[in-house]
Structure 1
Amino acid sequence: MLAKWKLKEVVLMALFSVVFGIVYLLFLHVGNIWAGFIGPIAYEWIFGIWFIVSIICMYIIRKPGAAVISETIAAAIEVLLGNAVGPRLILSGLIQGLGAEAAFAATGYKRFTLPVLMLAGVGSSLFSFAYGYLLGGFSVFHPGYVLLMLGIRIASGALIAGVGGKFVVDGLLATGSLRGYPIARAVKGDPRA
């Protein structure tokens, strides 16, 4: 059964997607600079930042689709702002969002604990890595290097996206700015959350 979305949930998701679309583009430049020094593995350390909006939106809104939709919108915003990858990046955002969405779907969209948020970051890592492996030419690297890349991406997804996403949302929740959203109702013990 599909959950009904409220207008304010759609607006909040769109707002976060735009903000993080900008952040994502900025971090691409950070990754490019760092990659100039240590090679393609540089991006793996910061990949979690590119998954964070899906976890933030799902943690707040708690409705099927929040992770995949927000991540896809953020990727589209990044393309509109001039990411050189172009429209293919939107597919990348969709795949990253599906990875996070899979973790929440596995719990029936009922558990939003830190381990589940970290698992969502890992899901984004695995889905995006498989996509990157197919399109990014990772097969030219030594298998040990590829495994190292994967391990770093998984850690980044779990820590930056999972733990970092929880930290951001919990900070917003403490200010009272998320009153009326499912996360606030869950904290109060409301069964509608």
Structure 2
Amino acid sequence: MMKKWHLKDIILVTLVGIVCGLIFWIMNPIYTAVTAILTPVGLAPFAGAILLGFWTLGGMLALLVIKLPGSGILAELLGAAVEMLLGGIWGASTLISGVIQGFGSELGFAVMGYRKYNWLGVVLSSITTTVITFGYSLIRQDYAGFSSGLIIALFLVSLVSVFIFSGVLSVAIAKLLERTHLMD
């Protein structure tokens, strides 16, 4: 049986969303710098792939901490709203990305019926987040014009980024929060 939303859960998902929104916003100039570094060597598309995991952190973290269906989408949407309101470089389209990234995070845990929030869930969520987010980028950023090899390389770099920065980092943060007993 799945637990129900309580005020504490709403407050937690809001806090995760706000903190992650600040991280998303901080990543904007880092993304611009990485793009500037990679552009002269023809690798600009890899900037987004390398840093993608930072923008998907909110969904995975919310799901690991709150353990409720919908918390990943809500945290990513709130984070995207904070990033947008702070003047994020993608404007209102950030909200669409937030929902898509949150949905990807949810999908991995949904496959397991939202019952297991362990490494298997993190791996599945990393895969589904990457597939969903990359699929959106494939269309939005017209990756179809790239060679097959470049598309595969971008996908693999995105997958590693999501697993490390969204998966491993979220697990570490969730464990730290458990040890502090803040969640009690």
For the criterion TM > 0.5, the same-fold answer is yes
State the TM-score bracket (shorter-chain normalisation): over 0.9
Q: What is the match of residue 27 of structure 2? A: 27
Shift of 1:122: 2.1
Q: Which residue of 2 aligns with 1:82?
A: 87
Residue 83 (structure 1) shift: 1.3
Pairing partner for 2:49 from 44, 47, 62: 44
Residue in 1 that maps onto 2:65: 60
- String of CA shifts for 1:102-128, please: whole Å, max 9, x gaps: 111111110111121132122111111
**CA distance in 1 between partners of 2:93 and 2:16 (Å):** 21
- The TM-score, its normalising length taken from structure 2, stands at 0.92
Q: 1:55 & 1:166 partners in 2: Cα distance?
A: 9
**Deviations 1:136-168, CA, capped at 9 Å, x for gaps:** 121222221111000010111112111110001
Q: Which amino acid aligns with 2:123?
A: M
Displacement of 1:176 in angstroms is 1.4
Residue 15 (1) aligns with residue 20 (2): no
1:41-76 CA-to-partner distances (Å, cap 9, x unmatched) read 022112111111111111111111111111111111
**CA deviation after TM superposition for structure 1 residue 8, in Å:** 1.1
- 1: CA distance, partners of 2:31 / 2:128: 21
SS in 2 for 1:178: coil
Tell me, in whole angstroms, the C-alpha distance in 2 between the residues paired with 1:35 and 1:111. 37
Give the RMSD, CA atoms, in angstroms.
1.4
Distance 2:77 2:118 in 1: 24
Aligned to 1:150: 155
Q: What is residue 141 of structure 2 aligned with on the other side?
A: 136
Once the two structures are superposed, residues 17-64 of structure 1 have per-residue CA deviations (whole angstroms, 9 ceiling, x without a partner) of 011101011112111101111112022112111111111111111111
2:99 to 94, 106, 125: 94
The 5 Å alignment of 1:181-192 reads: none
- Report the TM-score when normalising by structure 1: 0.88
The answer to whether the 8 A contact 1:99-1:127 is kept is: yes
Measured after TM superposition, the shift of residue 3 of structure 1 is 4.4
Aligned length: 179
Q: Distance in 1 between matches of 2:9 and 2:113?
A: 20
Query: Are the counterparts in 1 of residues 28 and 89 from structure 2 also a CA contact under 8 Å?
Result: no
State the secondary structure of the residue aligned to 1:82. Answer: coil
Deviation of 1:99 after TM superposition, in Å, equals 0.7
Q: Which runs of 5+ in 2 are unaligned?
A: 39-43
Q: Distance in 1 between matches of 2:151 and 2:56?
A: 20
Superposition deviation, residue 2 in structure 1? 7.2
Q: In 2, distance between residues paired with 1:68 and 1:104?
A: 12
Q: Which amino acid aligns with 1:107?
A: M
Instruction: Report the residue type matching 1:12 in the other structure.
Output: L
